[in-house]
Amino acid sequence: MLTERFLRNKRNVSLSLGERECLEAAISEVQTIEPRRVLVKAGDKLDHSTLLIDGIMSRHIDDHNGLRQLVAIHVPGDFVDLHAYPLKTLDHDVASMTTAVVGMVPHGKLDDIISERPQLGRKLWYATLLDAAIHRAWLFRLGRLAAVGRIAHFLCETNARLAAVGLSDGRQFPLALTQTDISEICGLTHVHVNRVMRQLREERLCIFRSSVVEILDPVGLAARGQFDPTYLYIDQ
Amino acid sequence: MLTERFLRNKRNVSLSLGERECLEAAISEVQTIEPRRVLVKAGDKLDHSTLLIDGIMSRHIDDHNGLRQLVAIHVPGDFVDLHAYPLKTLDHDVASMTTAVVGMVPHGKLDDIISERPQLGRKLWYATLLDAAIHRAWLFRLGRLAAVGRIAHFLCETNARLAAVGLSDGRQFPLALTQTDISEICGLTHVHVNRVMRQLREERLCIFRSSVVEILDPVGLAARGQFDPTYLYIDQ
DNA sequence: TGGGCAAATTAACTTTTATCAACACGAATA
DNA sequence: TATTCGTGTTGATAAAAGTTAATTTGCCCA
């Protein structure tokens, strides 16, 4: 089922089978996207939103020097640009980081869902607010944490998000990002990311190699990143 | 009218008179709050949301050393914690920065609005997504801009937001924040904020003194902060 | 009018991170 | 097997921002 990971294990919002089928039916088309494709540019007018089924996608804002700040990454089960439904245009770009499989959901079908199934509509709203909660955690990361903490926090978050949708066992997970990607997420240079990665390795906290993250000391890594997963609103 | 500034001058979402009256009627109580009061702690269960009528409020996340990162500031017309309506608990604290006048809106009344006036419900959703768009701009600010740029960007944003609700003439506006507040917004120390403020003053870009911001060179300041107001979704 | 106090300001010094420049490694390919 | 290219790694140096500690300013109030 394409929507099986949507809001999976999220507090207060388990979808009924009927709701899940309804959402599934709203997917007009499934596409496979190459890695590193920019799908949406800031300002584009959108008539559909994108449910990520497989792979990793990102949202970013460009600066005047052609550098970019990632403002979100998305894992399977996330509605990548659902906020484009009320907002109509986006304030940032959307891109694939890996090969990605996505389901396109026309906004017209969302209109139908809202009017026919207001409870499901509320859950879509909720999904966009989870995104905002993650934005806030990223603000904390960038504003208050030094380089080691930022990367530790990011790795803990990604582990928790992937675990919630069954893509991490809590210790180890595939993550096909480069150190440059991490630098664009954490507001650092790729050179400094490399140094921090070595430090995490030497302190036996975490190893990130060959597109696999292995967390050796989950408690220690969380402490380094002052990571508290409450903001992810994961069940239990 | 208490709700007169809500979504004022925002693109695609002008409220009809009926909608505004409906929202007005949903305010159960108006309160005046002293400066520097923490109204909501992370994790609190909320049964109402707060419309800011006058003053400045903030949302922040505490770190392990008792320092805080502000994740949002709110100006009159903003629904400070509307996202608590779908989420039920917050991931951060809410506080007043100045003396503030707020309208309390019970979540039960929002339920009624959603079911009886789905169009207005959509606009409430929209309002929470504007918050998220501002979060993303703050991520850009913290992740890609150096100290001068961060402060320039913040001052431009605040000017634009206040101007949209009639509280700035585009050049000068009252802003009762301390340099320490700015440091908690921009992820800097208050000492460094002070140095940057002097620099902005010496470059004749902006003067912030006695709780008044005076923008001497709007274009220059925006350039310094790479500020593009599109993300605020302001009309025109 | 003189304390008291929060906020602003400044200086000296330290730490962190960026910048610049090589070089190494490994997978894909000719 | 040699080549290429993206990615990772390392070192030297510079720049930015943090830390610590005074000092000043402006304002409220006894």
* pLDDT, tens digit, 9 for 90 and up, residues A5-14: 999 999 999 9
**Cβ within 8 Å, pair A91-B137:** yes
For chain A, percent helix, then strand, then coil, each to nearest 5? 40, 25, 35
**In the structure, how far is the CA atom of residue A113 from the C1' atom of nucleotide C18, in angstroms?**
50
Q: Which residue of B has its CA nearest to A122?
A: B86
Which residue among A71, A88, A130 sits closest to B136, beta carbon to beta carbon?
A71
pLDDT at B18 over 90: yes
pLDDT of residue B113 exceeding 90, the answer is yes
CA distance B37 to B98: 9
DSSP 8-state class, residue A231: G
> What pTM value is reported for the model?
0.98
Q: What percent of chain A has pLDDT over 90?
A: 99
Q: What's chain B's length in residues? A: 236
Nucleic strand C under 7 Å from the C-beta of B180: yes
- 8 A C-beta contact, residue B49 and residue B105: yes
Q: A153 in contact with B at a CB cutoff of 8 Å?
A: no
- DSSP for residue A82: T
- Maximal C-alpha separation, chain A: 56
Task: Quote the pLDDT of residue A108.
Answer: 98
Average pLDDT over residues A66-92: 97
Average pLDDT value for residue range B102-108 = 98
Q: What is the pLDDT of residues A180-228, one digit of tens each?
A: 999 999 999 999 999 999 999 999 999 999 999 999 999 999 999 999 9
3-state secondary structure of A230: helix
| pLDDT-based confidence at residue A236 (cuts at 50, 70, 90) | confident
Q: How confident is the model at residue B12 (pLDDT cuts 50, 70, 90)?
A: very high
The pLDDT-based confidence of B109 (bands split at 50, 70, 90) is very high
Cβ atoms within 10 A of the Cβ of A151, count? Answer: 30
* Contact partners, residue A93, CB within 8 Å, separation at least 6: A38, A40, A41, A42, A59, A60, A61, A62, A68
Per-residue pLDDT tens digits for A102-136: 999 999 999 999 999 999 999 999 999 999 999 99
pLDDT at B236: 80
Residue of A nearest to B129 (CA): A83
Nearest alpha carbon to residue B208 among B230, B229, B186: B186
Interval B6-29 mean pLDDT: 97
The overall average pLDDT reported for chain A is 97
- pLDDT of A64 over the 90 cut: yes
- pLDDT tens per residue, range B169-191: 999 999 999 999 999 999 999 99
C-beta atoms of B132 and A137 within 8 A: no
E-state strands within A26-178: 29-33, 38-40, 48-54, 57-62, 68-74, 93-96, 100-106, 172-174
- Reduced to 3 states, what is the DSSP secondary structure of residue B174? strand
Task: State the CB neighbour count (10 A cutoff) for residue A8.
Answer: 17
Q: Identify the residue whose tokens are 């990971």.
A: A5
pLDDT level of residue B202 (50, 70, 90 thresholds): very high
Q: Dig out the tokens for B116 from the structure.
A: 């009886």
Answer yes or no: is pLDDT of A16 > 90.
yes
Distance in angstroms (rounded) separating the CA atoms of residues A190 and A222: 22
pLDDT at res. A162: 98
Q: CA of A144, closest CA in chain B: separation in Å? A: 6
> A189 and chain B: CB distance < 8 Å anywhere?
no
Is residue B142 within 8 Å of residue B129, measured between CB atoms?
no
